[in-house]
Structure 1
Amino acid sequence: MSDKTVQELAGIVGIPLERLLEQMKEAGIVAHSAEDTINDDEKMALLGHLRKRHGKDEETEASTAKKVTLKRRTVTSLKQGTVPGKNTKTINIQVNKQKTYIKREDAMSDAEREELERVKKDLEERAQKQEVEEQLHRDKAAREKAELEAKQAAVRKQEEDARAERAKKEKETEAERHKAEKAQRLEASVERNAEKVRRQAAAKKVAAERKAGGGAAKKTVARKPAVAATGKPADKAATVHRRADKPAGGAKPSYGKKGRKKGGKGRNEQQFIVDPNAKHTFAMPTEIAAKDISIPENIIVSELAQKMSVKAAEVIKHLMKLGIMSTINQSIDQETAVILVEEMGHNPIMTSEEDHETDMLAEHTEADERKEFPRAPIVTIMGHVDHGKTSLLDYIRETRVASGEAGGITQHIGAYQVKTDHGAVTFLDTPGHAAFTAMRARGADVTDVVIVVVAADDGVMPQTKEAVEHARAASVPMIVAMNKMDKPEANPDKVMQELSAIGVMPEEWGGDVQFIKVSAKTGEGVNDLIESLILQSEILELKAPNEGKASGLVIESRLDKGRGAVATVMVQKGTLEQGQIVLCGHEYGRVRAMFDENGANVKVAGPSTPVEILGLSGTPNAGDDFVVVTSERAARDLAEHREDRSKLSRNAAQQASKLEEVFSKMAAGETSNLNIIIKTDVQGSLEALRESLNKLSTDEVSVKVVYGGVGGINEGDANLALASGAILMGFNVRADATARKLIIEKDIDLHYYSVIYDAIDEVKKSLSGMLSPEIKEKIVGLAEVRDVFRSPKFGSIAGCMVIDGFVKRNLPIRVLRENVVIYEGQLESLRRFKDDATEVKMGMECGIGVKNYNDVKIGDQIEVFERFEVQREL
């Protein structure tokens, strides 16, 4: 409130001025006119007087001021009726509400008031403290802003100074360059003038000699170099100074009719002074500037030369000093490059391509810090051929797989997921033939548990031992399934004894390996086998993250005519989804579709799930890792990087093999090569065939797989076979129409196979035919010399008694003396008495003439033998 005049107060209260003055007079307030002012105390006194006048005392007023009651009444209408507008009834509903408000301060106790005061005080202190902190924060921000602006201003000033300094240096450099060019032009001009002066001097000398010698002038004038005051020839880099010959007193020279100065030298004659001590400013570098040279695992000679800033010929020369003959495009290994770089005075830094690839891959994949959950076990079934591996899996899956395989054997890796009462189990069925060792090794690497299937009626075989070794190498638990227990000749004790001999001890004999008796035909023991698998899996506590980007292993790959490249992958971590970008070895692509083992389309695949994926750029190698990356460009870059690494490795291997071939041919002569081009249906079969055929090579004959690929035989394969003289081999694939036409026209050797045994056996026969035959000897007779006769026609004739076998004309012989061969040659003559004989048998006498040998003595033995060829086999 504020002081107001009586007139203003009357207007505010809303009563006449005279009445207000009368009430003020009654209240004892002095006021005589409308302009008099009244303060707040006088206003409260007037208010108290008026309350008493109306019958309200202070206590009643105080009590009513502390308590206020509000009353509210609301009326609403409600209409009732079945049809709107007809037979409706309106009901008015009145609601009376009454609410009483009590002044809080009066209702409080003393303790509550104190607490309220304390809270108010705390709030005020906090507000003050917060205001102080905000002020400090504002001051700090202002200081930091000022410092930042000062730093930025300093940086800008430094940049401006640096720019000004660079501009100044550039200007000075440009001025020096112009100065140098000007000096060069001046020097060139001086040289031209000096040459001109020398020619004029020579001409004058010739003219003088002609004049002195009666007009006999020399036809040739030898040019001499400029000579300094010392009488020595001037240096090439010497500085030439020109001194103008001016007349005394600064007067201009006058010239005659022929252009010569009166009393002076000719118009164009100049005098030159040469400084022989002047030197050029160029200094040749005296030592090599060492550089840090990064060296990968393999590097091309030209690239290494470029890194060292030298010519490739210099690098090749140093390699020759190290005893290495190389070309500019040849690849050398890291160790050789390190020695070479050190020899040339630089610092080698060895780099690994794997580390570089890991860094590239880390930029496009996520860190493996995901939460792990239980996953299904991956079980690999291994064993010898025809021991019932696939049949056992067929019984579990209630399908028949081997019936669709050629020859009744599994030649691919089959991956299946089976739902059991105890959860899902993923099975890998691997081939049992010896050629599929690498495929079995891949199965053992990806698996959690290995089931070794052994036929109870056959026992332990070579591939059984190999399966045990694979399981041990992979450090995975093993379960032995003794199959074919339904046969009467089954002998499980023999199987247990043979396996214990190679270190696989049954639990019944105190070992740690479970032996389960099963029958794939009747189903005996299959439930026990599955329970053992589940128990073993629970012991292992298999876990994997089921969220995030997927990663895993390529089990198999093939080229499908209708769908393109198809890869069978096993997801080990994360979840693989349709549409993601996948990198598989040196192939990449977007997953266009996924299928399970039954051919059904799936959208996602979690850990321990085998799926077939479509959309890759090519068929990856079986055993390659696959991973999901962020972008297709990153996948392409990584794939190209891996392909470049693979090419360098192949080039290095080829170069090494070429050198080895050169030395081996120099040592042992030429070898025969059998060139083969292999096309298969899947990558695993290609790998198995290539490895098996390469093992057939010997020192004399070798198998060279010129090319191997997945898919049908096309025209390019036929042309390659024609150019390289190779045999075309199709394994479960066929040639297309264009390729067949070319094969028939050019008579290319083409063979189709569906069983690996047949392919290996036929190649082995071909190699055996390329082997040179073996020459064997057989002793057919032995004759003892009883006497020696001299013949003028044949020389010494040995009179012999055939003591073993027979002696036949035209057969080679050996002369033995005390059981030591002293001569080997041919029979020249064979006679019985005076007649020539073709053959003399045991117990008969004969005369033998040895060709080109006359030192036969009594007591010697003549051994008759024959040679024959035996075709060799591998």
Structure 2
Amino acid sequence: MSEVTVRTLAKLVGTPVEKLLEQLAEAGMSFSGPDQLVTPTEKMKLLGFLRRTHGKSETAAEEAAPRQITLKRRKVQELTVAAGKSKTTVAVEVRQKRTYVKRSVVEEASPVDAEREEALRKLEESRRQQEAEEAARLEAERKRAEEEARRREAEEAERLAREAAEARRTDEPAIEAPAPARTPAAPPRTAAPLPARDDKAHRHKAARGHGHREGGEEDEGRGRYTGGQLHLSDSERARRGASRKKGGKARGPEHGRQASGQHGFSRPTAPVSREVAIGDTIVVADLAQKLALKGSEVVKALFKMGVMATINQTIDHDTAVLVVEELGHKAVRAHEDDAELALQAHAEAAQGTPEPRPPVVTIMGHVDHGKTSLLDYIRRTKVASGEAGGITQHIGAYHVQTPKGVISFLDTPGHAAFTAMRARGAKLTDIVVLVVAADDGVMPQTVEAIQHAKAAGVPLIVAINKMDKSDANPDNVKQGLANHDVIPEEWGGDTQFVPVSAKTGMGIDALLDAISVQAEVMELKAVRDGRATGVVVESSLDKGRGPVATVLVQSGTLKKGDFLVCGVQYGRVRALFDETGRQVSEAGPSIPVVVLGLSGVPEAGDDFVVVEDERLAKDVAQQREAKRRETRLVAKAGSRMEDIMAQMGQGGEQQVLNLVVKADVQGSVEALRDALTNLSNELIRINVIVAGVGGITESDATLAAASKAVVIGFNVRADASARRVIEANGLDLRYFSIIYDVIDQVKQVASGLLGVEVREEIIGIAEVREVFRSSKFGAVAGCMVIEGVVKRNKPIRVLRDNTVIFQGELESLRRFKDNVDEVRMGTECGIGVKQYNDVKVGDHIECYERIEVQRTL
């Protein structure tokens, strides 16, 4: 949209919001706040005010513009003219010159200029009439020349035939006749080529006089190219030929070109305003082409707005609209999502009658509070014992048959790095079960789960777990949650609190009852018949099965053989599996299943839609991929001047640690990328150059070798070819199965890359009480150690009035007559300073040592 808020406009032009509001008020436009919309008319009004403020008025701009422009065109080419059986090459040069005067200058001309213009117009009409008559004369001569040429060719052919017949009669060998000689009275002017001179007179002569012979013989093609008229049409040449005939001699080519406007430049009448269609993003070169401008002009306009973008980079819609309006054109929204519209119409046509569906319940809470163990008891399986480190590191989706009906569960990780997974789990769910350990209370991830549930607008049920422990304190849990606006029902709130134990099974039935009651209150319904739609819960790349996606069906029925589009991926469902690995033929609403057959690994959180045919799915996927690629380009392009200046101000001191991260599932990739990138600071930047799903391949290893990156495999391994590349290049390859181990080791690697920092630590200060002269050591200071300890062989500084006047090292340290290694506070000593004899009473001798400290993140 061309209308933007004051805050967005201030961000685009690189001006503080307060300053922009002041400028708008000075321009006569009052805005109540930074979120108010600014129309294009108000932008142009602000632009005019700023120009007037800086002394750039429109009148001055018009006066600075040129009053007239002269355009010249020069064209040189070679013309081949036939002369009998020989050919001659003629160099032809065409020159054009046009002078255009501003309309305002013409309108302001004096009456004398008007009379001169009228006289010129009459002369022009007279000249055109003469050219028409000359053209008619030349056309008649051309026809006579053609008839004469045909007659002579017929006579020559007849003569050759007679000679050949006579030669046969006399039994003489037939001799090939030479080329027919021309009558001396009519020698062709173009029989010999022109001298190779770049002389203007010769060029004009070549352009004027080679089409007509005195004897009347003229080739059909040469008549078209007389008088330097290669660039003219037949009607224009005829008109100019008639004028030459009436005038008695041919006019010069320059005169003809000045008199005619055909095939020349058209006189500009007014500025051209175009409507430019702009999508969400556009390449600067494409925008320049739509505006009919040079790319440098658009880049210059962007530069004036504070956007540093090259001609091959992509800018967003709002920036492009501002540029178009700045250049005097109108921007309109481009609708390029034809495939998306077709998909939307396809989905709307597949609606049906809603029916009751099972609830989707997400288990959330802090790490090690027993979420997976609670779900494990409900499913009667052992899942938590198989997790690395005892923590869940990706979303698990299950549906179980309980005495209260079918319930679908989503198990989310509790580690701090899996914030995005918990947020995605809250958005997919109908009910959130918050698991809090009775012996631990409210923890950081507990509070984060509450925030995600409130943001998603779903009801909350609190399960107080580990009630079988002796130190369980449910009142402490209730009090901690009440501080975050989660009030129990018995305290007058609306949140159900259920004490449970995942170990003994206490309270599990009560929890299922609470879930069922909440689901009945919500009256959950979905369309069962029709094409399926839903969300990707998790995705991974299986070595044997290819891209694998765990999806949650939200409406319709997903069947084997359906065509579906899933984010930027598409495909046909080759197989469906439930959480136990058993193959199923279909899945209804609120049922999670594993899908095989996609073209690639989709992003976790992407929507999927079943379509009628593969063509529509492919078109939608390709269009989404193009938009995503343009969005990534926009994120990299169009850097602000402030960002560039900030990078320049760093002076290149910031270290960069490149990482190649591969994980088993998409959710782990997101968590690792975010957690590692957040370790960056002003000293070192963690740059994840590749983050993908699946094993470490040869291309990953090659990229890591080229960028000198550390390769991290999270629950995946490198294949044989990748290991060879890693060993040949000596790359750092590390395998992990627990996420906080990855974070700790990356911190260690980054700290090693930062190196050590040398610090100075003052260990003692001695005050000079008396100065003695020694023949061996020179001036010896009799001192009292007033702070710390003074050690021999350590560097020192001599301070006078708290100002350093000398820096060196101790030459000797004596206690009475004995050399000592150190003297502690409150003890007298004699200090000899090496190569310094200007010690005075009252000076302080500062003893320090240099230590190396390892830099850390």
The TM-score with structure 1 as length reference comes to: 0.66
Residues 553 and 624 of structure 1 are in contact (CA less than 8 Å); yes or no, is this contact kept in structure 2? Answer: yes
Which residue pairs with 1:739 in the alignment?
A: 722
Which residue pairs with 1:783 in the alignment?
A: 766
Equivalent position SS for 2:637: helix
Amino acid at match of 2:467: M
Q: For structure 2, which runs of at least 5 residues remain unmatched after alignment?
A: 1-128, 140-188, 207-239
Q: Does 1:482 align with 2:464?
A: yes
Which residue pairs with 1:845 in the alignment?
A: 829
Shift in alpha-carbon separation, 1:181–1:571, aligned structure 2, 3 A: farther
Q: Does 1:448 align with 2:430?
A: yes
Match of 2:664 among 681, 694, 705: 681
Match of 1:333 among 313, 316, 330: 316
Equivalent position SS for 2:328: coil
Which residue pairs with 1:559 in the alignment?
A: 541
Which residue pairs with 1:285 in the alignment?
A: 268
Which residue pairs with 1:471 in the alignment?
A: 453
Which residue pairs with 1:432 in the alignment?
A: 414
- Give the 5 Å matches for 1:56-205: 195=201
Shift in alpha-carbon separation, 1:787–1:351, aligned structure 2, 3 A: farther
Please state how far the C-alpha of 1:757 moved relative to its aligned partner.
2.1
Match of 1:545 among 527, 530, 538: 527
In the alignment, the residues of structure 1 paired with residue 202 and residue 346 of structure 2 have an alpha-carbon distance, to the nearest angstrom, of 75
Which residue pairs with 1:570 in the alignment?
A: 552
- Give the 5 Å matches for 1:822-861: 822-823=804-805, 825-827=807-809, 829-830=811-812, 832=814, 839=821, 841-842=823-824, 843-849=827-833, 857-861=840-844
Shift in alpha-carbon separation, 1:493–1:278, aligned structure 2, 3 A: closer
The superposition leaves residues 172-210 of structure 1 with CA deviations (integer Å, 9 ceiling, x where unpaired) of xxxx9x999979x99xx9xx999579999xxxxxxxxxx
Which residue pairs with 2:285 in the alignment?
A: 302
Q: Does 1:672 align with 2:655?
A: yes
Q: For structure 1, which runs of at least 5 residues remain unmatched after alignment?
A: 1-175, 201-237, 247-268
Amino acid at match of 1:712: G
The superposition leaves residues 137-157 of structure 1 with CA deviations (integer Å, 9 ceiling, x where unpaired) of xxxxxxxxxxxxxxxxxxxxx
In the alignment, the residues of structure 2 paired with residue 528 and residue 341 of structure 1 have an alpha-carbon distance, to the nearest angstrom, of 64
- Give the 5 Å matches for 1:622-641: 622-641=604-623
Q: Which has the higher contact order (CA 8 A, sep 6+)?
A: 2
Residues 134 and 241 of structure 2 are in contact (CA less than 8 Å); yes or no, is this contact kept in structure 1? Answer: no
The superposition leaves residues 815-874 of structure 1 with CA deviations (integer Å, 9 ceiling, x where unpaired) of 4556x44546323744659999674524223245486895x6532322222221121333
- Give the 5 Å matches for 1:651-666: 651-655=633-637, 663-666=645-648
In the alignment, the residues of structure 1 paired with residue 630 and residue 251 of structure 2 have an alpha-carbon distance, to the nearest angstrom, of 69
- Give the 5 Å matches for 1:230-629: 242=244, 279-281=259-261, 282-351=265-334, 358-367=340-349, 369-629=351-611
Which residue pairs with 1:774 in the alignment?
A: 757
Residues 582 and 588 of structure 1 are in contact (CA less than 8 Å); yes or no, is this contact kept in structure 2? Answer: yes
In the alignment, the residues of structure 1 paired with residue 809 and residue 500 of structure 2 have an alpha-carbon distance, to the nearest angstrom, of 73
In the alignment, the residues of structure 2 paired with residue 338 and residue 270 of structure 1 have an alpha-carbon distance, to the nearest angstrom, of 56
Q: Does 1:873 align with 2:853?
A: no
Amino acid at match of 2:310: T
Q: Which deviates further from its counterpart, 364-373 or 527-536? A: 364-373
Please state how far the C-alpha of 1:795 moved relative to its aligned partner.
9.2
Which residue pairs with 1:650 in the alignment?
A: 632
Shift in alpha-carbon separation, 1:584–1:659, aligned structure 2, 3 A: farther
Shift in alpha-carbon separation, 1:197–1:467, aligned structure 2, 3 A: closer
Please state how far the C-alpha of 1:452 moved relative to its aligned partner.
0.8
Residues 361 and 431 of structure 2 are in contact (CA less than 8 Å); yes or no, is this contact kept in structure 1? Answer: yes
The superposition leaves residues 477-512 of structure 1 with CA deviations (integer Å, 9 ceiling, x where unpaired) of 111111111222222222222222222211122221
Shift in alpha-carbon separation, 1:552–1:788, aligned structure 2, 3 A: same
Residues 696 and 703 of structure 1 are in contact (CA less than 8 Å); yes or no, is this contact kept in structure 2? Answer: yes
Equivalent position SS for 1:365: helix
Equivalent position SS for 2:348: coil
Residues 197 and 270 of structure 1 are in contact (CA less than 8 Å); yes or no, is this contact kept in structure 2? Answer: no
**Aligned residue pairs, count:** 631
The superposition leaves residues 112-133 of structure 1 with CA deviations (integer Å, 9 ceiling, x where unpaired) of xxxxxxxxxxxxxxxxxxxxxx
In the alignment, the residues of structure 1 paired with residue 253 and residue 683 of structure 2 have an alpha-carbon distance, to the nearest angstrom, of 84
In the alignment, the residues of structure 1 paired with residue 339 and residue 773 of structure 2 have an alpha-carbon distance, to the nearest angstrom, of 89
Residues 364 and 411 of structure 2 are in contact (CA less than 8 Å); yes or no, is this contact kept in structure 1? Answer: yes
Which residue pairs with 1:95 in the alignment?
A: none
In the alignment, the residues of structure 2 paired with residue 514 and residue 276 of structure 1 have an alpha-carbon distance, to the nearest angstrom, of 97
Q: Which deviates further from its counterpart, 306-315 or 624-633? A: 306-315
Amino acid at match of 1:373: E
Amino acid at match of 2:753: M
Which residue pairs with 2:847 in the alignment?
A: 864
In the alignment, the residues of structure 2 paired with residue 656 and residue 270 of structure 1 have an alpha-carbon distance, to the nearest angstrom, of 60
Shift in alpha-carbon separation, 1:179–1:504, aligned structure 2, 3 A: farther
Please state how far the C-alpha of 1:772 moved relative to its aligned partner.
3.5
Rg larger for: 1
Please state how far the C-alpha of 1:743 moved relative to its aligned partner.
2.4
The superposition leaves residues 646-674 of structure 1 with CA deviations (integer Å, 9 ceiling, x where unpaired) of 11121222336798875444222332111
In the alignment, the residues of structure 1 paired with residue 418 and residue 356 of structure 2 have an alpha-carbon distance, to the nearest angstrom, of 32
Residues 431 and 439 of structure 1 are in contact (CA less than 8 Å); yes or no, is this contact kept in structure 2? Answer: yes
In the alignment, the residues of structure 1 paired with residue 853 and residue 320 of structure 2 have an alpha-carbon distance, to the nearest angstrom, of 51
Shift in alpha-carbon separation, 1:568–1:278, aligned structure 2, 3 A: closer
Residues 444 and 470 of structure 1 are in contact (CA less than 8 Å); yes or no, is this contact kept in structure 2? Answer: yes
Kindly, what percent of the aligned residue pairs are identical?
A: 53
Which residue pairs with 2:53 in the alignment?
A: none
What value does the CA root-mean-square deviation take over the aligned residues?
3.8
Which residue pairs with 1:757 in the alignment?
A: 740
In the alignment, the residues of structure 1 paired with residue 635 and residue 402 of structure 2 have an alpha-carbon distance, to the nearest angstrom, of 49
The superposition leaves residues 289-312 of structure 1 with CA deviations (integer Å, 9 ceiling, x where unpaired) of 111112223211111111112222
Amino acid at match of 1:388: G
Amino acid at match of 2:295: A
Amino acid at match of 1:727: V
In the alignment, the residues of structure 2 paired with residue 181 and residue 578 of structure 1 have an alpha-carbon distance, to the nearest angstrom, of 84
Residues 559 and 566 of structure 1 are in contact (CA less than 8 Å); yes or no, is this contact kept in structure 2? Answer: yes
Residues 377 and 608 of structure 1 are in contact (CA less than 8 Å); yes or no, is this contact kept in structure 2? Answer: yes
In the alignment, the residues of structure 1 paired with residue 813 and residue 255 of structure 2 have an alpha-carbon distance, to the nearest angstrom, of 110
Match of 1:725 among 680, 687, 708: 708
Shift in alpha-carbon separation, 1:853–1:599, aligned structure 2, 3 A: farther
- Give the 5 Å matches for 1:25-64: none
In the alignment, the residues of structure 1 paired with residue 133 and residue 803 of structure 2 have an alpha-carbon distance, to the nearest angstrom, of 94
In the alignment, the residues of structure 1 paired with residue 250 and residue 457 of structure 2 have an alpha-carbon distance, to the nearest angstrom, of 100
Equivalent position SS for 1:741: helix
The superposition leaves residues 292-342 of structure 1 with CA deviations (integer Å, 9 ceiling, x where unpaired) of 112223211111111112222332233344444432211122232222212
Equivalent position SS for 1:733: coil
In the alignment, the residues of structure 1 paired with residue 776 and residue 243 of structure 2 have an alpha-carbon distance, to the nearest angstrom, of 107
The TM-score with structure 2 as length reference comes to: 0.67
In the alignment, the residues of structure 2 paired with residue 182 and residue 514 of structure 1 have an alpha-carbon distance, to the nearest angstrom, of 103
Amino acid at match of 2:704: A
In the alignment, the residues of structure 1 paired with residue 513 and residue 704 of structure 2 have an alpha-carbon distance, to the nearest angstrom, of 54
In the alignment, the residues of structure 2 paired with residue 343 and residue 319 of structure 1 have an alpha-carbon distance, to the nearest angstrom, of 10
The superposition leaves residues 575-620 of structure 1 with CA deviations (integer Å, 9 ceiling, x where unpaired) of 2222111111100111111111122222221111111111100010
Shift in alpha-carbon separation, 1:508–1:244, aligned structure 2, 3 A: closer
Shift in alpha-carbon separation, 1:861–1:500, aligned structure 2, 3 A: same
